């Protein structure tokens, strides 16, 4: 029996093109002692995958080697096992790759309840929720009454950031790239303001929304919105730099904020990535599950069908056409 997987065959220079990834048929492996075979049911497409394709050896995680299965998070069920800790029928989540089947010894995998819907897990309890939770509570450390702004606010991470902040009593401003997304943020998620960075009067809208300045900035995008937001920061403000999706496909970095502004306003700016909080996944997952159960977090998904949809699906993240957490159903 064979199965399909997607391998990285070429590294991107700028934008993601169709020749970077290739769908290949593999023979289904048989587990040896200590191993198990997992049948994937759902895969997650995330902006971080763009960085994993690059050749940057100094990044927070080694790049995917050419010819290897492309790294990706997913959910699956154990269908064959010679690992007593993961009997047949166990549902697991982890970085198993863009593949229909995965062979594993269990390292890096987390058991998940069968009753939880896959979309809730990948949208809230998995990488987006863990990232949002760490950035809000461990990096920004919000206080009631402050003003928080988040870019890519309609994305899987940004939408959770805003809701967590609202639940803590903050004024929340979301920045997104379409009127539909802005409407979703205010009408469905309860953001106080939602601004379209493509509007010609974006800076004026920002000034009106943040009349008392901005205390906390959760940065996901970079790009044209970053400068005006930085200029609106209050003294002793905090900035969590989670992503720069507007920069990933560029060969040269765009100019960043002025260091003079950092000094004058005594700002605290901190970048963070996945390995910072991997050891706290169970703790964060429990907290996120409780928030979800209480109805404190809403989400929406953009579901694609079939493994072959992954290459084109990734580009939806970078042109802003996805609406919600991007998931592949196998």
- Would you place residue 256 in the very low, low, confident or very high pLDDT band (cuts 50, 70, 90)? confident
What is the rounded average pLDDT of the residues 216-240? 97
What is the rounded average pLDDT of the residues 272-289? 88
pLDDT tens-digit readout, 54-102? 988 888 889 999 999 999 999 999 999 999 999 999 999 999 999 999 9
- DSSP, collapsed to helix, strand or coil, labels residue 82 as coil
User: Scanning the structure block, which residue is given the tokens 């790759």?
Assistant: 97
Cβ atoms of 158 and 151 within 8 Å: the answer is yes
For the chain, what is the mean pLDDT?
Answer: 94
Percent of the chain with pLDDT over 70: 100
Burial 161-176 (b: 16+ CB within 10 A, else e): bbbbbbebebbbbbbb
Phi-psi region of 214 (alpha: psi -120 to 50; beta: other; left: phi over 0): beta
More confident residue, 319 or 197: 197
pLDDT over 80 (residue 251): no
pLDDT tens-digit readout, 168-227? 999 999 999 999 999 999 999 999 999 999 999 999 999 999 999 999 999 999 999 999
Edge-to-edge, what's the strand order for the sheet holding 214-219?
193-196, 171-176, 147-151, 214-219, 233-241, 268-271
pLDDT on residue 14:
82
pLDDT on residue 281:
86
Cβ atoms of 128 and 325 within 8 Å: the answer is yes
- Would you place residue 135 in the very low, low, confident or very high pLDDT band (cuts 50, 70, 90)? very high
Domains of the chain: 2-115+300-329 (3.90.180.10), 127-275 (3.40.50.720)
Cβ atoms of 103 and 35 within 8 Å: the answer is yes
pTM of the model: 0.92
Tokens of 192: 């106080």
Q: Is 234 exposed, middle or buried (0-12, 13-18, 19+ CB in 10 A)?
A: middle
More confident residue, 55 or 151: 151
pLDDT on residue 132:
96
The Cα–Cα gap between 311 and 330 comes to: 14
């Amino acid at each position: 029996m064979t199965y399909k997987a997607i391998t990285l065959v070429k590294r991107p220079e700028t934008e993601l093109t169709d020749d970077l990834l290739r769908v290949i048929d593999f023979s289904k492996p048989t587990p040896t002692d200590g191993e198990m075979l997992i049948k994937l049911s759902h895969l997650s497409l995330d902006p971080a995958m763009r960085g994993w394709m690059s050749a940057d050896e100094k990044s927070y995680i080694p790049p995917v080697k050419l010819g290897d299965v492309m790294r990706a998070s997913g959910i699956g069920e154990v269908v064959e096992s010679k690992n007593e800790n993961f009997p047949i029928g166990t549902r697991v989540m982890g970085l198993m790759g863009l593949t229909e089947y995965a062979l594993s010894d269990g390292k890096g995998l987390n058991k998940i309840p069968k009753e939880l819907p896959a979309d809730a897990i990948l949208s809230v309890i998995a990488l987006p929720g863990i990232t949002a939770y760490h950035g809000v509570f461990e990096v920004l450390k919000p206080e009631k009454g402050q003003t928080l702004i988040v870019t890519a606010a309609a994305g899987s991470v940004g939408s959770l950031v805003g809701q967590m902040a609202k639940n803590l009593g903050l004024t929340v401003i979301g920045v997104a790239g379409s009127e539909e997304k802005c409407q979703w943020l205010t009408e469905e998620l309860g953001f106080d303001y939602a601004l379209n960075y493509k509007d010609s009067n974006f800076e004026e809208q920002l000034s009106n929304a943040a009349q008392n300045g901005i205390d906390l900035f959760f940065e996901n995008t970079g790009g044209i919105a970053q400068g005006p937001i930085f200029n609106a920061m209050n003294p002793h403000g905090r900035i969590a730099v989670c992503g720069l999706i507007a920069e990933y496909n560029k060969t040269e970095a765009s100019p960043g904020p002025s260091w003079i502004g950092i000094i004058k306003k005594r700002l605290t700016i901190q970048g963070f990535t996945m390995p910072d909080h991997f050891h706290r996944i169970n703790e964060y997952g429990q907290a996120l599950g409780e928030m979800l159960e209480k109805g404190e977090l809403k989400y929406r998904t953009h579901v694609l069908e079939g493994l072959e949809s992954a290459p084109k699906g990734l580009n939806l993240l970078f042109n802003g056409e996805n609406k919600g957490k991007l998931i592949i159903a196998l």
